[in-house]
A and B are shown apart, each in its own frame.
Chain A
Amino acid sequence: AQSVTQLDSHVSVSEGTPVLLRCNYSSSYSPSLFWYVQHPNKGLQLLLKYTSAATLVKGINGFEAEFKKSETSFHLTKPSAHMSDAAEYFCVVRLDTGGFKTIFGAGTRLFVKA
């Protein structure tokens, strides 16, 4: 079975402090992993993707994620949060068995306090 688990439904940080959004996956195949962000009333936007190249992936807006096979994790981080980072973040796993097998996590809502 393939699944993705986002360990926190809500994360609250102060502006200027680090962000950590946690994601664990399970997959029988070599996965491709993604983080998407969803701002209110806007479409899902790709932040970054891992496709078996470098394990540390850099994305847009200062976000990065590290693929750790031994821990089956793909946590999203950012050194310093900005107010504009407040949004819903989705960890996504794509199975290498077909173009439609893209599974979303339940999402983590990030709150950024001034």
Chain B
Amino acid sequence: DTGVSQDPRHKITKRGQNVTFRCDPISEHNRLYWYRQTLGQGPEFLTYFQNEAQLEKSRLLSDRFSAERPKGSFSTLEIQRTEQGDSAMYLCASRADSSGANVLTFGAGSRLTVL
């Protein structure tokens, strides 16, 4: 499979626990994006990497959220001290620099449920 992979697909956790999601982009894509999608809403931008550099963070990304892309390949999104409001689908997308029209390829998402 040469698409964008996300793991785990589903995560149920108790409030206060930490969770980590992983995204493996398409191998030749140097740009990687994280979005959050809540029920009935479109995806909201969280953060963006060009290679290993995190170039932009949304105000939605509180101090409890951290994203990394240490080697410019896969990325992780960690949420510390989860809250019920963090329950959402976390989407990863990637694109190549040559994709001038900013065509994003999305993964299937990681659904988080915080009890």
Contact = CB atoms under 8 A, between A and B. Distances in A.
Interface of A: 9, 32, 34, 36, 41-46, 49, 51, 90, 94, 98-107
A53 B103 CA distance: 16
22 contacts: A9-B40, A32-B101, A36-B106, A41-B108, A43-B91, A43-B106, A43-B107, A45-B106, A46-B104, A46-B105, A90-B42, A90-B43, A94-B101, A94-B102, A98-B56, A101-B45, A102-B33, A102-B45, A103-B45, A104-B44, A106-B40, A106-B42
B42 A46 contact: no
A91 B21 CA distance: 26
- How many chain B residues sit at the interface, stated as a range, is 20 to 34
Contacts of A106: 40-42
Contact of A102 (B100, B102, B105, B108): B102
A82 to B, nearest CB: 22
